[in-house]
Amino acid sequence: MPYEEITPALIKVYGKRDGDGISNSSFVILDRKIAIIDAGAKGELWREVIDVIKKHGRDPKKEQSYVLLTHEHPDHFGSAAELKAACKAEIYAHSAAADTLRDPSKLATKHFGVFGESSGVTNRVKSVFSKVTPVNPDTVLGGGEKIDLGLSSLTAIHTGGHCAGHLMYYDDYRRVLFAGDEVLEAPGNPCKYMIDLTGSADRKEIVLKRLLELRIDLLAPSHDSATAGEEVREPINRALDAHEMWKNEVYETVNRLGKASTEEIANSVQQALSLNWSGELKQVAAAVTTAAYLRSLRLKGQVQESEEKKGQKQWTSN
Ligand SMILES: [Zn+2]
């Protein structure tokens, strides 16, 4: 299924599915101006996006268009440079995402370097991320801006839970929320519930609780299916359940182990939650999420970091 018309003016374009059935996606809004939310992984779905726009009788080379990035992960901005070249779109992203977009080598260290800069895992992750094409945003957002599309407009909402530069876009005319990766909800799959080293478990909780109060007629996340009407609360509540589960499990694990490194705690959480992963990025995804909950528990005074042992911080409960 390369694309799906949610409405004639709102189209979801799908990327390839990975082994766990997760696919990337872009949303295309055909208003008086054209908005493309997220660009997908490198080389993946940008041609399809251009084709879809043309099939609907629009000319992406001549019309004013925007590529609105939800965040600085390569499965969302990997094809932004190609898309910009193909349709002369202006690229929008949050200010906290800009450094990584311009220099994707920061992904392996600043965002995912949980095993230390010189570790084998980090080096293998570096080689995966080294193929990502940098992109320079034309407009840097802080959150709260309205992007006028003609009939409708999109409000940028800064969230900063999943990663520091995460934005959601809210279409206040259709009451559609483009949620990016902030409402990922599958606790048993670390790639479907992840907070990187720049993100915040506490911000994620605040954002998810606020979403329960926002009028949303269609919730459109990047990787999961869209939900409409009364059902939009369900994925938000599942994401909140996953948050509680991670928070409790990380705290109980620190208590049980007595004194342990982030890596030891992450491995133990992996076993306790029966996280089923394959491949290095998934191992890293679970470890960075564990680290996010350790930071949150430290801020609340429930755990503390002690001296470094072999370059690794040691955690104990209070
Ligand atoms: Zn992401």
Q: What average pLDDT does the structure give for the chain?
A: 90
Mean pLDDT, range 168-174, rounded to an integer: 94
CB atoms within 10 A of CB 19: 8
Percent of the chain with pLDDT over 70: 93
Distance 57 CA to ligand 1 centre (A): 32
Q: How many CB atoms lie within 10 A of CB 77?
A: 30
The answer to which of 127-131, 161-165, 246-250 has the lowest mean pLDDT is 127-131
Strand order in the sheet with 167-171: 146-148, 153-158, 167-171, 176-180, 218-221, 227-228
Q: Per residue in 195-237, pLDDT tens?
A: 999 999 999 999 999 999 999 999 999 888 889 999 999 999 9
Domains defined along the chain, listed by start: 3-229 (3.60.15.10), 240-304+311-317 (1.10.10)
- Tokens representing 130? 């080294």
Q: What is the pLDDT of residue 277?
A: 60
Per-residue pLDDT at 73 = 94
| Runs of H (alpha helix) within the chain | 46-55, 74-77, 80-87, 95-102, 106, 120-129, 201-211, 233-257, 262-272, 280-299
184 CA distance to ligand 1 middle (Å): 9
Q: How far is the CA of 75 from the centre of ligand 1 (A)?
A: 7
Residue 1 has pLDDT above 60, yes or no: no
* Cα angle value 215/230/211 (rounded, 5°): 40
Distance (angstroms) between ligand 1 centre and the Cα of 192 equals: 9
Q: At what angle do helices 201-211 and 280-299 cross, to 10 degrees?
A: 90
314: nearest Cα among 260, 268, 258: 260
Residue 134 Cα to ligand 1 middle (Å): 16
pTM over 0.85: yes
Q: Exposed, middle or buried by CB within 10 Å (0-12, 13-18, 19+), for 10?
A: buried
What's the DSSP call for residue 161? S
Between CA 113 and CA 118 the distance in angstroms is 9
Tell me if 147 sits within 8 A of 35, measured CB to CB: yes
Predicted local distance difference test score (pLDDT) of residue 19: 63
